[in-house]
Structures are given as structure tokens and as C-alpha cells.
């Protein structure tokens, strides 16, 4: 069969450095750090006392508070960005075939805050099982997709992807696949996460995954720096409207870029550590290039997974050099997690948006907080340190990897 072309026609973002796509992009271009002391709870006894929280956000400005109370923050965030993306797409919902419109959404953890609070309430009680009737619907990761579909009446493909920190790239790739197979005309996709809570910070601290640079939160996320000591936990959401190309063209839609293809692979190695030889990362990028039917030399920019961990950063860069060879020195490479922190299951969505904005505005966002060169990294690589750089970006690649060895890559290309 002939596969259909798929394009991006709408975007929505809620991040630690901006609550709309434009604010988010301005934050990236300006090298803004979203890290600060935690305000959600008293973190004074935690090893890590800072995070990249969403700021100046009041759900009452976006939806009825009574309805909002039925949702965990990760689902609230999803609703906000889906609304921005649909408005941005210019879709006339009265002209959308609801049976050909779907929602595929990613979250690595789902309603962690809800789970934490319900268990705390139960533990403080007398043993009588009293739970909020919305406990389960607020907690399970698929409810974001469900809420979005209910709000807009979309009756097409509808499910959630859970692949840890690769969840939203997983969702985008699945949405792309369903569209190119002709199973839908429009799919709202992306991801959301809200894990900045006692259980989230405490759990990642126990794994020794988080930076403990409490004296300088704004510089704690420092991918590729010699002194990186772990990632900074973030929260938020990103949404993309993916649309079959002819459907978008007929309605005169604004097109950000075409989704060229993607790749999937597994490390099959360890529950949290990356494969020491980068085998899964190498394979996922090869798979993406093959799926997109392009050469490595056509890629201009890679938005890396780049979490600011000693092993992960090094392994990904070495994998990039393996796949791209000499062309690796001609590309721009950057980790926007240096600014947003790590949004876990939502990371791939906001990083895909960063790629799309780079294509449209000819600017590569930086990797901030680079102070000391890592002698194990090739100095000839352009890791876009500390300042955004202007360049023509025709093809951009976004990498995301998750605990369990889940790897996803997605490729976007400028249209005509």
C-alpha cells in the first residue's frame, strides 16, 4: 500500500520556562533555566531540594474548577496544551469527522500525586478503606487521552503510551503510524507529566538519579559538562496536532513540518542504566533514518535525550558519532533539558516542539550551563553551548530514551 504523508499543524506547550509555545520558545532561545527551589512541598529534608516546576499556573484560568478536581495535574496539563494546539491548528471542529479524529497520549508515570495523597490519607486513618471515588480515574495514565477525546468528541484511535521517559515520542510515532496507514485524518498527540511531589523527588533521589546541586539550582542541569551530577526533575506537557497531508492541504492549514519517520529499539540490558556500548541508541537512530528514507548527511540538528547524567550523556554522543560519522561535525546538537529539566514522559513532546520551532525559525536552542569541558567528549562536535545559534534547519531529529531500555527517535522535515 502507499503510505500517506503526515504533517504537524498545531502545537501546545506548558513548561517550566513558559506556559505557551511562544513563551517556551522564547525561553529556549534566551537560554532560560527553569530550575528553582521546590515550592510544591517542604523539601528541606530531601537530598535534592529543587526542580523545574511549572510557574504562574492556575487551572481555574483554563477550565471549571469542579471538573479540574476530577483530574490529576498531569491530566490538567494535557487538557491545557491540547486546547492550545487545537486552536493553533485552525481546525473547525464542526467540519472534523469525529470518527477520523483520535488522541494518542504519553505519560511515564500518570497520577503520581493522586496516588501519593490517597495513600497518605488512608495511612492516617483507622484502617477503614475510604478512598476518593475519582482515585483510580485520576491516577491511570490513559485518562489524559480519554479526557481530551471526551472534550472534543473525537472517536478515532484513542489510547496511552507508557515507555518511561520515551512515552510521548512513543505517542507521536504511534500517531504518525496510524495516520500514514490511513486509520485517521487527525490525531492529537504528545505527553504530560506531574511528578514534582514527595514521592517523585524521593524516589528519584533513592535511585541517585537527580542532581544534588542545591546551592545553584539554575546551573544544576548541565549536559555534557565534566561536572554533571544527575538530572533535574521537571513537569509540564506538550501537544502536537498530526494530520494527513492532503487533509491539511485541502483546508489550507499552516504546516510546521512533515513527520518523515521514526525508530524504536530496546537496550535489553538494564532497568535503569544505558547499554555501555550504546547499542540500542545506535539502532534506534539507524531505524529512524531507514524509516524516513533519508541519509545521515541530511540531518541538520539533533535534540538529544541529554539528561545531564555521567553515563547517559556520553553514551548518546558516542552513538551519534557512530551513526553520523564525519557528518556529526557538521550538525548542531543540543540538550534543551539544560533549561527545562527532565519532563520524564512529556520530554519527547516538548523537545519535538523545540525541533519544529528550530525548523521554522532557523535557530538552534542551546545547551546551557556548560562550564568545564569533558575530556571524554570530542571537542570538534558543535553541542551549541550556552548560546542559541542561527542556522538553516531542514531536518531535525529528536531522541528520547526511558528506563527499561526503551528508545525512540522521530524525524521532522521542512515542507517545501
Give the Å distances, CA to CA, from 13 to 19, 86, 204, 262, 344: 6, 12, 25, 22, 15
Residues 13 and 51 both lie in one domain? yes
- How far is 308 from 313, CA to CA, in rounded Å? 6
The reply to whether 255 falls in a domain is no
Q: Is residue 261 pLDDT above 90, yes or no?
A: yes
C-alpha to C-alpha distance for 32 and 381, rounded to whole angstroms = 23
CA–CA separation, 186 vs 181, rounded Å?
12
Asked if residue 351 and residue 231 are part of one domain, the reply reads no
Residue 14 has pLDDT above 90, yes or no: yes
Tell me the catalytic residues: 165, 305, 342
> What does the alpha-carbon distance between residue 313 and residue 38 come to, in Å, rounded to a whole number?
25
Do 273 and 308 belong together in one domain? yes
Q: Cβ distance 168 to 347 under 8 Å?
A: yes
- The SS3 assignment for 74 reads helix
Query: pTM here?
Result: 0.98
d(CA 81, CA 123): 35
Asked whether residue 257 is domain-assigned, the answer is: no
- Single out the residue of 173, 401, 129, 388 nearest to residue 265, CA to CA: 401
Asked if pLDDT for residue 416 goes beyond 90, the answer is no
Choose the weakest-confidence range: 126-130, 292-296, 348-352: 126-130
Among the candidates 218, 250, 282, a domain finishes at 250
What total of structural domains would you count in the chain?
A: 2
Quick one: angle between helices 73-89 and 143-152, nearest 10? 40
Q: Is residue 37 helix, strand or coil?
A: strand
Indicate left, alpha or beta for 315 from its phi (over 0: left) and psi (-120 to 50: alpha): alpha
Residue/partner pairs of 66-69 with CB below 8 Å, 24 or more apart: 69/134
Of 228, 250, 272, the residue at which a domain comes to its end is 250
Q: pLDDT digit string (tens) for 18-31?
A: 999 999 999 999 99
In contact, 101 and 20? CB cutoff 8 Å = no
Residue-wise pLDDT for 151-198, tens only, equals 999 999 999 999 999 999 999 999 999 999 999 999 999 999 999 999
Question: What is the overall mean pLDDT for the chain?
Answer: 97
| Helices and strands (H, E) in the chain, number of each type | 13, 14
53-108 per-position pLDDT tens digit: 999 999 999 999 999 999 999 999 999 999 999 999 999 999 999 999 999 999 99
The pLDDT of residue 145: 98
CA terminus-to-terminus distance, the chain: 24
State the sign of the Cα–Cα–Cα–Cα dihedral 219, 330, 321, 301.
Answer: positive
CATH of the domain at 335: 3.40.47.10
Give the model's pLDDT for residue 3. Answer: 97
Same-domain check for residues 126 and 26: yes
Cell digits of residue 246: 492532503
Residue 164 lies in a domain: yes
129: confidence class by pLDDT, cuts 50, 70, 90: very high
For residue 1, is pLDDT > 90? no
Where does a domain end: 250, 271, 291?
250
271: exposed, middle or buried (Cβ count in 10 Å: 0-12, 13-18, 19+): exposed
| Residue 2 within any structural domain of the chain | no
Pair (239, 341) in one structural domain = no
The reply to whether 256 falls in a domain is no
User: Alpha-carbon distance 46 to 317, whole Å?
Assistant: 31
Distance of alpha carbon 208 from its chain centroid, rounded?
22
Contact 281, 316 (CB under 8 A): yes
Average of pLDDT values for 400-408?
98
DSSP state letter for 17: T
* pLDDT grade for 276, boundaries at 50, 70 and 90: confident
Question: 47: domain range?
Answer: 7-250
Q: Model confidence over 217-239: pLDDT tens digits?
A: 999 999 999 999 999 999 999 99
Secondary structure of residue 59 in the 3-state scheme: helix
The 10s digit of each residue's pLDDT in 136-155 is: 999 999 999 999 999 999 99
Amino acid at each position: 500500500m502507499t503510505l500517506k504523508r503526515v504533517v504537524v499543524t498545531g502545537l501546545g506547550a506548558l513548561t517550566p520556562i513558559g506556559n505557551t509555545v511562544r513563551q517556551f520558545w522564547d525561553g529556549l532561545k534566551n537560554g532560560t533555566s527553569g530550575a528553582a527551589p521546590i515550592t510544591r512541598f517542604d523539601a528541606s529534608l530531601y537530598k535534592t531540594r529543587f526542580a523545574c516546576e511549572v510557574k504562574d499556573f492556575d487551572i481555574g484560568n483554563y477550565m471549571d474548577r469542579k471538573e479540574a478536581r476530577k483530574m490529576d495535574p498531569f491530566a490538567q496539563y494535557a487538557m491545557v496544551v491540547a486546547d492550545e494546539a487545537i486552536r493553533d491548528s485552525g481546525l473547525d471542529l464542526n467540519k472534523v469527522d469525529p470518527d477520523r479524529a483520535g488522541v494518542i497520549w504519553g505519560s511515564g508515570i500518570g497520577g503520581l500525586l493522586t496516588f501519593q495523597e490517597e495513600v497518605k490519607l488512608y495511612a492516617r486513618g483507622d484502617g477503614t478503606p475510604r478512598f476518593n471515588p475519582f482515585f483510580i480515574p485520576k491516577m491511570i495514565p490513559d485518562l489524559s487521552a480519554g479526557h481530551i477525546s471526551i472534550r472534543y468528541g473525537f472517536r478515532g484511535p484513542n489510547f496511552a503510551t507508557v515507555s518511561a521517559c520515551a512515552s510521548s515520542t512513543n505517542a507521536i510515532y504511534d500517531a504518525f503510524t496510524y495516520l500514514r496507514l490511513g486509520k485517521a485524518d487527525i490525531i492529537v498527540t504528545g505527553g504530560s507529566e506531574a511528578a514534582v511531589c514527595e514521592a517523585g523527588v524521593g524516589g528519584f533521589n533513592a535511585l541517585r538519579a537527580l542532581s544534588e546541586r542545591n546551592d545553584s539550582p539554575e546551573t544544576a542541569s548541565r549536559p555534557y559538562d565534566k561536572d554533571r551530577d544527575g538530572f533535574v526533575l521537571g513537569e509540564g506537557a506538550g501537544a502536537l496536532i498530526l494530520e494527513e497531508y492532503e487533509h491539511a492541504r485541502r483546508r489550507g492549514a499552516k504546516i510546521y513540518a512533515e513527520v518523515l519517520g521514526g525508530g524504536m529499539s530496546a537496550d535489553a540490558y538494564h532497568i535503569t542504566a544505558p547499554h555501555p556500548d550504546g547499542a540500542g541508541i545506535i539502532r534506534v537512530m539507524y531505524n529512524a533514518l531507514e524509516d524516513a528514507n533519508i541519509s545521515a548527511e541530511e540531518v541538520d540538528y539533533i535534540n538529544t535525550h541529554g539528561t545531564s547524567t555521567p553515563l547517559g550523556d556520553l553514551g548518546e554522543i558516542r552513538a551519534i558519532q557512530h551513526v553520523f560519522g564525519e557528518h556529526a561535525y557538521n550538525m548542531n546538537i543540543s540538550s534543551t533539558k539544560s533549561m527545562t529539566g527532565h519532563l520524564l514522559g512529556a520530554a519527547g513532546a516538548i523537545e519535538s516542539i523545540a525541533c519544529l520551532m528550530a525548523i521554522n525559525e532557523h535557530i538552534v536552542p542551546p545547551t546551557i550551563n556548560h562550564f568545564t569541558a569533558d575530556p571524554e567528549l570530542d571537542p570538534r562536535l558543535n553541542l551549541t553551548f550556552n548560546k542559541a545559534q542561527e542556522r538553516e534547519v531542514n531536518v531535525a531529529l529528536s531522541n528520547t530514551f526511558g528506563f527499561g531500555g526503551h528508545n525512540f527517535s522521530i524525524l521532522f522535515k521542512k515542507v517545501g
